[in-house]
Amino acid sequence: MGNAMDDQTSTPSAASAEEHEDAEFDAAIKAVVSSGLIAGPDPSIVDEIAQEDGPDPTQEMADDLSADMEVDRIYRSILTRAPEHKVQPSLDRVRDCLDLMGNPQDSFRAIHITGTNGKTSSARMIEALLRERGLRTGRFTSPHLTTVRERICIDGIAISRDAFVQAWEDVSPFIEMVDAASVASGGPRMSFFEVFTVMAYTAFAAAPIDVAVVEVGMGGLWDATNVIDADVAVLAPVAMDHERWLGSAIEDIAHEKLGIVKAGSVFVCAEQTETVGQMAIDRAAEVGAQLVMAGPSMHVISRETAVGGQLISVQTPAARYEDIPLALRGDYQADNAVLAITAVESFFGGQALDGLVVEHALMSVSSPGRLEVVRSSPTVVVDAAHNPHGAAATARALDEYYPGRRVGVIAMMADKDVESYLGEMEPVLEEVVVTGMPSDRAMPSEELEEIARRVFGPDRVHRVDDLLSAIDEAAGIAESDDSEPMVSPAVIVTGSIQLVAEARTLMGKPAPDGA
């Protein structure tokens, strides 16, 4: 009996051995923290951390999957409504719904942006500048690339799964009421975009935010977003696009977009054609808005390409900003930066911004799907240009940043000016691979191939219906010419935002904004 007791006291059990090892581990961690090898506010927190059970990663994955399924269910239910490209010329349904909810859009200030090209990139820059100034922001843009949650961002981060579901639960009873009243009077249900606009404004109010940066869905005058009374209205360059819905003349399109300019606001206008520029002047005078136009007091002074973007110097009505690093490529992004800085100056009453605020905001801004590199060896770039004006800007950027052999992978929607688009791209692409998209609106690849052959010539056009195979085909073509071994070839996937979204996913790019 005595021997047994002696054995127990002289030989530690398995449990006591583990406790001894744990104690040694804790002591080692404390020593590392205390020595400063790991930064920590207080080494005593190690005791608390060591005693806490960490989150179960398996359970977290299960919770995320469940939440994603609920987000997808909600999204699919909203998709049964009129599509976002179908403009219904009335703001009554959105106004009625928000009024029933107590007008959440009145709880924050706003910058409202429209135009044909550059809206999303400009919105991202505006938001980055506002956040760098210390404001809490909301951003509403469309369409999305990977998940619908990208459309609604709080402080630059996509709305969480739970917050998305909560926004839907908050608005759905009121949407049902408005639907019922509209149908009873012979009208339509709220559209896809109207519902998302109400959800965005509700989520912004719930956050809460200080200021929303709101991009129109299409046009402006009858766009669902146009129920806000924005401090600043921004008009990016206007060009031909969405003619089926906005009109076949540039004057018709500009008229729709100028509908967001309201009395008492500051109206910041990018460089436009002479016709659109005069319409902008007339609109500002008509409603009593303060007009700030591109020109001698608002322009790019200089720019030079740099790794990952460019270095720009710009003049705005309030200040001159020199040698600002902009993490986006293309001369048009420099123009967008001037527009964004001026909009934020206007939001703050025309005051100049601190140079470090501008530098920090623009050096870290991103615009997924806009001249975005998604693969290397060879370089694969995706760009969302989908109309001739956008194609011309993309072509200039490709010529500037990718001097090697360039091969395009292109698919487009059938309602676009495909021949003019291809005409803008033809000088900068050695060859092109046309492909298809899983959309009812997409132009069949056979038809696109026929148009491309007219523009490029039959020897420069290939057709591969599967996108991944099309990218591989283009890569092979791009790398087949080794006459300039010191200059890297590039594949450019472009022509449609939907095509870009699919390519990003295939190349393994994560959803934007932490979605």
Type and span of the H or E element at 61: helix 57-79
CB 97 within 8 A of CB 175: yes
Query: What pLDDT is attached to residue 424?
Result: 98
300 DSSP β-pair partners: 314
Task: Say which residue the tokens 């766009």 belong to.
Answer: 223
- Nearest to 96, CA basis, from 237, 198, 202, 221: 198
Query: What pLDDT is attached to residue 52?
Result: 57
Query: What pLDDT is attached to residue 80?
Result: 96
pTM of the model: 0.87
| Cis? peptide before 208, omega within 30° of 0 | yes
Look up the CATH number of domain 372-514: 3.90.190.20
Q: Which residue type does 250 have? A: I
Q: Phi, psi at residue 437, to the nearest 5°?
A: -140, 145
Answer whether CATH 3.40.630.10 is correct for domain 73-364: no
Instruction: List pLDDT tens digits, range 318-370.
Output: 999 999 999 999 999 999 999 999 999 999 999 999 999 999 999 999 999 99
- Nearest to 376, CA basis, from 488, 503, 496: 488
Query: What pLDDT is attached to residue 13?
Result: 46
Query: What pLDDT is attached to residue 9?
Result: 38
Q: What is the DSSP string of 79-128?
A: HTS--TTS--S--HHHHHHHHHTT-GGGGSEEEEEE-SSSHHHHHHHHHH
Could you tell me the residue ranges of all domains in the chain?
16-48, 73-364, 372-514
CB 429 within 8 A of CB 381: no
Query: What pLDDT is attached to residue 49?
Result: 47
Query: What pLDDT is attached to residue 51?
Result: 55
Query: What pLDDT is attached to residue 512?
Result: 95
Sheet with 309-315, edge to edge strand ranges: 299-306, 309-315, 320-326
Q: How far apart are CA 220 and CA 226, in angstroms?
A: 7
- What's the residue count for the chain? 515
Query: What pLDDT is attached to residue 241?
Result: 67
Residues 6+ apart with CB under 8 A from 143: 84, 151, 497, 498
Query: What pLDDT is attached to residue 58?
Result: 81
Which stretches of the chain drop beneath a pLDDT of 70?
1-55, 84-85, 87, 241-248, 483
Instruction: List pLDDT tens digits, range 38-59.
Output: 344 454 544 554 455 666 778 7
Query: What pLDDT is attached to residue 36?
Result: 39
Query: What pLDDT is attached to residue 85?
Result: 67
